[in-house]
Amino acid sequence: MRPAYEDLFHLIEPLLPQVEKPSRYIDHEWGTLSKPEARFRVCLMYPDTYEVGLPNQGIAILYRILNGEEGISCERGYLPWVDMADKMREAGVPLLSLEGAAPVASFDVLGMHVPHEMAATNFLEAFDLAGIPQLSGERGEDDPIVIAGGPSVYNVEPLAPFFDAVLIGEGEEHIVEVCRELERSRDAGLTRAERLEALAQVPGTYVPGLYDVTYAADAPHGFATPRAGTRAPAVVYKRVAADFAATDPLAQSIVPYTELVHDRLSVEVLRGCARGCRFCQAGITYRPVRERSADQVVAAVVRGLARTGYDEVSLTSLSTTDHSQCERMLERLNERLADTGISVSIPSQRLDSFDPEMAEAVAGGKKGGLTFAVEAGSQRLRDVINKNVTEEDLDRAMRAAFEAGWRRVKLYFMMGLPTETDEDIVGIARLADHVIDLAQEVVPKNQRGSVSVSASVAVFVPKAHTPFQWVGQLEREEVKRRQRLLIHSVRHKSVRVHYHDADVSLLEAVLSRGGRGIAPVIQEAWRRGARFDAWTEHFNLERWREAAAACGVDLDAVACTPYEIGMRLPWEQTSPGVSPGFLEREYRRACAAETTPDCTRASCTGCGICPTLGVANKIEEVRK
C-alpha cells in the first residue's frame, strides 16, 4: 500500500542533534514554492547531499515551473549524508521530502536528477531508504513513477533498469507534459504498465522497459530496440526549449541556510556552446546556442537580488564570455551594483578572450586564482581535440594577468587523449614551466615568491555522442607511466602537478561507455556498501572490482576497449539530434589534426542538430 502523504518531521527531529549539519534537513527556507494541497505531487530529488544539490539550476527551473501549474505541487529531496542515513535506517524512518517532510514513496512521481555518472549508487541508496524497489520491473501499482533527467542521460543504459522513464534533454516544457500525462493516466485508472506505455508517446521520453537489448559481435554491449507492438520510438530525440529567451531568466527562488559551495544567485545568460571541442559532451548535448539579451539579464539580476538577498550573482552558461553582449552586461551590472558589496562572477574564462579588466570586474576587485582549461600540451594535440587556443593565447593571457597583479594560475589538462604521445605529455610540463618563466620576466622580484602555477591533469573519459565516442580509455598502467613522465619533465620546483584520481576515471569510463549489462554491477556495488562515490573518502575501486567480478564483468575491458566505427552502440536510441555521420567525420578530422570552426562565428558545420530538431542558433549580436 502506498504510504500516506503526511508530515513526519517529528520522526527525524530527535536525530538532528546527533548528526553533522542538521540545517540540511530542516527545510523552512526562504522562497519555497510547494503547496500544502494538490491533486498531483512530484518530488524532485538530487542524488547527493543538500548543499551539493541545492544550487542545481535544472531542479530550480523545474521546481518553479511545476509549482506554477494548477493542481501540481513539487517538493525537493536530497540524499541524507551517511550519518543521517544510518540513523534513519536504525530508527526505521523512511526517506522524506524536504518541504512537507512526507515519505518520498507517497508521491505520484519521484524525479531523479542525473548530474553525472558517479551518482549511480546514490539512486539505489535513495530508493532503498524510501522503500521503493530499485528495479523498475519490480515496482508495483502503489509505488511512485520514477522518472529521471539531467545532463548525464545521453548514455543512460547502465542506469536504465532503475528508472521507469528518462526525460531526454531540456525539461521546461517536457516535465509538465509528462506530469499531466501521468495525472491523466492515474485518474483514468490505467495499470502501471499501461501508463508507462502511454508515457512513451510524449516526445523525448525514453521508457527503458519497452526496449529489448540485443547483443552481437558488432554490438558488444548491446543495442536497444523497441519491443514489437509497444509503439515506443526507435530513437528518442532530446527536447529543446527552442525559444530560450522566452523562458523565465530567474529560476532560483530558494535561499538556503546551510552554507554551500556556490552560494549565490545564478542567472543563465546563454545555453549551448558551439566551440566544438571534440571531447566535450555538453558541447553537443546543449546545442543549439541561444542567448538572452543584456536587457533581460540585467533586469533579472536586479529582480533576483532583491528577491533573495544574495551578495553575489553568477552569470552562468557553458561559456559566458562567448555571449555577444558579455562586456556590456558586466559593465551595466557593475555600475548598478557599485557600493553595495555585491559582486558579479562568471564561471570560467577562455584563454583566447582573457581580458584582465573583465577578470577583475567579475571578481569584485579580488585577485584570487585564475583557472584556464588548456586541455593538451601541444598545438598538434589541441588541434586534434579542436580546442582552438594557441600558445600565443596562453602567452598573452598570462602576461596580462601577471602584469595586472595576479599571482596564482591553475591550468587544466587531460591525459590519454586520442593520438597522444610522450611528446604531448612533456609539452604539458613545458607549458607550465613556460608560465613560470613568463612570471619571472613580468613579476617584480620582491613578489615572485607568491607566484604559483599548478597543472591539474585529469584522465580523459570518452563520452557518448561525441566524436570520441568510439575511443577507449587509456589503460591504467600506461596512465601511471605517463604521470611519472610528466612529473620528471617539470623543471621548475614551483610548478605543482595534481592528478585526478585514475580509479575514479576508470569507473566513470565504465559508466559512460557500458550498456545495460553494467546495471547489475551497480546494484552489487551498492549491496557491498558503495554510496557517495563522487566523494573521494567514500570511493573504493576495490569494492567495484569485486562487484564486477561477481557479475562476470571486466571493468578495464569495458573502459578501455574501443568500439569500431560501424558497431552498434548502447546509446543510439537516446539522441541529442547530432548526426552519426558528423561525429564520424569529426573523428576522422581529429585523427588528421584538422580543426573545425564554431558555427556561431562561421558557417554551419553540419552537426545535424538544427534540422533534426527543427531549432536554430539565436544570437543577439555578431560574435567576436
Q: Which residues bind to another protein, rule: CB under 8 A?
A: 9, 13, 16-17, 21-23, 26-30, 255, 257-259, 263, 305-311, 339-341, 364-366
In the complex, what is the shortest distance from the CB of residue 531 to another protein, in angstroms, rounded to a whole number? 24
Nearer to another protein, 258 or 605 (CB): 258
Cα-trace Rg, the chain: 24
In the complex, what is the shortest distance from the CB of residue 201 to another protein, in angstroms, rounded to a whole number? 43
Nearer to another protein, 10 or 445 (CB): 10
What residues contact 418, with CB distance under 8 A and at least 6 apart? Answer: 384, 468, 471, 590, 591
Query: Distances in Å between the alpha carbon of 341 and those of 315, 335, 360, 363, 364?
Result: 17, 12, 15, 12, 8
Inter-residue contact 164 to 141 (CB < 8 Å):
no
* Cα distance between residue 210 and residue 162, in whole Å: 13
In the complex, what is the shortest distance from the CB of residue 340 to another protein, in angstroms, rounded to a whole number? 7
In the complex, what is the shortest distance from the CB of residue 330 to another protein, in angstroms, rounded to a whole number? 18
Nearer to another protein, 12 or 435 (CB): 12
- Positive or negative, the CA dihedral 558, 564, 570, 574 is positive
Main-chain dihedrals φ then ψ at residue 454, nearest 5 degrees: -125, 145
Inter-residue contact 399 to 442 (CB < 8 Å):
yes
Nearer to another protein, 259 or 564 (CB): 259
Query: Which residues face 166 on adjacent strands?
Result: 148, 206
Nearer to another protein, 181 or 311 (CB): 311
Query: Which residues face 353 on adjacent strands?
Result: none
* Cα distance between residue 120 and residue 136, in whole Å: 15
Query: Distances in Å between the alpha carbon of 230 and those of 144, 159, 578?
Result: 22, 21, 25
Nearer to another protein, 27 or 197 (CB): 27
- DSSP assignment, residue 20? S
In the complex, what is the shortest distance from the CB of residue 366 to another protein, in angstroms, rounded to a whole number? 7
222 sits in which H/E element: strand 219-226
In the complex, what is the shortest distance from the CB of residue 252 to another protein, in angstroms, rounded to a whole number? 13
Nearer to another protein, 135 or 255 (CB): 255
In the complex, what is the shortest distance from the CB of residue 17 to another protein, in angstroms, rounded to a whole number? 5
Nearer to another protein, 71 or 309 (CB): 309
* Cα distance between residue 248 and residue 68, in whole Å: 12
In the complex, what is the shortest distance from the CB of residue 344 to another protein, in angstroms, rounded to a whole number? 13
Inter-residue contact 358 to 327 (CB < 8 Å):
yes
Residue 332 grid coordinates: 551595466
In the complex, what is the shortest distance from the CB of residue 28 to another protein, in angstroms, rounded to a whole number? 5
Nearer to another protein, 366 or 493 (CB): 366
CB atoms within 10 A of CB 609: 27
